[in-house]
Amino acid sequence: MKGLLVDSVKGAFRLTQTAKVLGLTGSKWVLGKRPPNPVLLRQVFEQLGSTYIKLGQFIASSPTFFPKEYVDEFQYCLDQTPPFEFSVVRKIITQELGCSPEKVYSYIEEKPLASASIAQVHAAKLVTGEDVVIKVQKPGVENVLLTDLNFLYVCARLLEKVAPKLSWTSISGVVEEIQKTMMEECDFIKEAKNLDTFRAFLLESDNHDVVVPKVYKQACSRRILTMERFYGSSLTDLESIRKYCDDPEKTLITAMNTWFASLTQCEF
């Protein structure tokens, strides 16, 4: 009963935060602060946090569904969202691993390599000498996701009732599926198991062109994931890719073929 009450209070607080962000943005717009619509929407999504950043990532990854100016602007949601303080990172690592970070890592870069919807990533080195990256889950992200997606689900259901012609789109069903997927993404132990499963899939399919980062399980928990660090470039940065390989087109084709094969042959 106590846990339910706490969750209800957190949910109400989150809805208040959402209303505050939307109200403040509306006030600025009325007062004349009106950036281009794609910029305005991206800024609002970032202020609203994890759930909406995830939706922004969907926009950034769907050029066939959304106008180019929105797709380009929402690229920032992929790995360049505002990070949280390094002091919080240290606190989370200590809580999750049950010891000070210095017991596990000889060095952690304070500035994150990337920050997205659910977590941010820091470069580090283990006390045993390996170069790694630490994926650290944002504080309170599960509650935020649950509250936001429940709210969006209720809104979708109401919209389907008010506009029956929209019911065929099953907006509420889409939100429900997004919620299931995003809540699973908050479990880094499951993500570590998925990496092992994907590595097994590559071996079984005799694919030697793709590698999976090694997971250091002694430095992992539900909210911390420590992996082998890879050095490279984004698949969308063709010029940088050319620095690493002579045939970037072949690299992209290999990635796509691996993805398609995983859809039918990989366990998850």
Contact call for residues 149 and 178 (beta carbons, < 8 A): yes
pLDDT value of position 217? 94
Same domain, 175 and 250: no
| Per-residue pLDDT band at 6 (split at 50, 70, 90) | very low
Same domain, 244 and 133: yes
**Better pLDDT: 64 or 73:** 73
Contact call for residues 230 and 213 (beta carbons, < 8 A): yes
- End position of a domain, from candidates 34, 50, 79: 79
Tokens of 6: 């706490």
* pLDDT tens sequence across 108-133: 999 999 888 789 999 999 999 999 99
Residues in the chain: 268
Q: What are phi and psi of 215, to 5 degrees?
A: -100, 130
Q: Which residue has the tokens 């998925």?
A: 194
- Which of these, 68, 108, 69, lies nearest to 88 by C-alpha position? 108
Same domain, 219 and 133: yes
Cα Rg of the chain (Å, integer): 21
Domains of the chain: total: 3
Q: Is the pLDDT assigned to residue 33 strictly greater than 90?
A: no
Quote the domain boundaries for residue 176: 141-183
CB atoms within 10 A of CB 266: 17
- Please calculate the CA angle 187-72-142 and round it to the nearest 5 degrees: 20
- End position of a domain, from candidates 79, 99, 125: 79
52: helix, strand or coil: helix
Q: Which residue has the tokens 């999976």?
A: 212
* pLDDT tens sequence across 82-110: 788 999 999 999 999 999 999 999 999 99
State how beta strands 105-108 and 131-137 pair.
unpaired
Rounded distance between C-alpha atoms, residue 183 and residue 138, angstroms:
13
Q: What is the mean pLDDT of residues 150-155?
A: 82
Which CATH number goes with the domain that contains 204? Answer: 3.30.200.20
Same domain, 151 and 117: no
